[in-house]
Amino acid sequence: MLILSFLLGLAFGSFANVLIYRIPKKLSIIYPFSFCPSCRNNIRWYDNIPLVSYVLLNGKCRVCGEGISLVYPTVELLCGLLSVLSYLRFGLPYAVIPFHFLFILVVISMIDIQTTEIPDELSYYLIASGILTSPFNFVVGKETFTRITNSLIGGLSGFVLLLTILIIGQKIFNKPVLGGGDVKLMCGIGCYLGTYAVFKILFLASLIASGYVVFLSIIKRRKLWGQYIQYAPFISVGCAIHLFAFNKLL
């Protein structure tokens, strides 16, 4: 079962790579099948096996020999590990909802890192799917009714909290401290995890982001404070910590 969940996670990771590449370019996510970004040739199924193909092909396209970004196997491996962790932590069938949630966060984080934008459609998807799956989402409550209300209130708190920070930050610093994308993202996260988690994740994300900025400043010996940083990866790490480390199971 552990191996199966790892393999399933790898397959999702492979799909995550497709989403990360295609959503910002507004390409169809279903058709055409996988192709090499440099020579546009279709990738054969046997060259498209997560992790394995990357190793066998020595990180190069079979047709044009162009290097394949290390991001692809990293995302696959990350999804594989998240799948195993979700399975170990929540068991079946409960693991499905948290894993799906983390899978979308991986896609959002990678797109944010590469393009500094969080695609609205992914945040709206999180909000809609979070509310729709809430009756079965035991992370937000014990009974069906509390789950649904906690999900709705959680989404609202995420939205209001980040919007407040955005408005106050604008007043104090005279420039946006957050992107509008972060507000919608936190709304979606609230729908999956509830109000309490929204506050905790914001705190965790700020803590990790500050640590990261200090670390970078030391390494690069340059002042980085006040520079724009992509927030989605830190929020996502906060969500993973909340789900796997500190959240008492009901």
Interacting residue with Zn ion among 64, 132, 168, 218 (CB under 5 A): 64
CA distances from 84 to 59, 98, 101 (A): 25, 12, 14
We find the least distance from the C-beta atom of residue 36 to Zn ion, in angstroms, to be: 3
Q: Which stretch binds Zn ion (CB under 5 A): 7-15, 64-72, 94-102, 214-222?
A: 64-72
Q: Phi-psi region for residue 174, left (φ > 0), alpha (ψ -120 to 50) or beta?
A: left
What angle, 0 to 180 degrees and rounded to 10, lies between the N-to-C axes of helices 71-90 and 96-115?
Answer: 150
We find the least distance from the C-beta atom of residue 57 to Zn ion, in angstroms, to be: 10
Interacting residue with Zn ion among 10, 16, 23, 61 (CB under 5 A): 61
Q: Which stretch binds Zn ion (CB under 5 A): 63-71, 181-189, 215-223, 225-233?
A: 63-71
- The answer to whether residues 130 and 123 touch, using CB atoms and an 8 Å cutoff, is no
60 binds Zn ion (CB under 5 A): no
Instruction: Choose between 18 and 36: whose C-beta lies nearer to Zn ion.
Output: 36
Instruction: Choose between 1 and 64: whose C-beta lies nearer to Zn ion.
Output: 64
We find the least distance from the C-beta atom of residue 161 to Zn ion, in angstroms, to be: 45
We find the least distance from the C-beta atom of residue 63 to Zn ion, in angstroms, to be: 5
- The answer to whether residues 99 and 82 touch, using CB atoms and an 8 Å cutoff, is yes
We find the least distance from the C-beta atom of residue 186 to Zn ion, in angstroms, to be: 38
Least Cα distance to 25 among 119, 110, 122 occurs for 119
Token pair in block for residue 124: 């709206």
Q: How far apart are CA 92 and CA 105, in angstroms?
A: 21
Token pair in block for residue 236: 């996502």
Tokens 């199966």 sit at which residue?
Answer: 4
Binding-residue total with Zn ion (CB under 5 A): 7
Torsion of CA 91, 92, 93, 96, to 10 degrees: 70
Instruction: Write the binding mask 27 to 56 for Zn ion: x where contact by CB under 5 A, - elsewhere.
Output: ---------x-xx-----------------
We find the least distance from the C-beta atom of residue 65 to Zn ion, in angstroms, to be: 7
Q: Rule CB under 5 A: which residues touch Zn ion?
A: 36, 38-39, 61, 63-64, 66
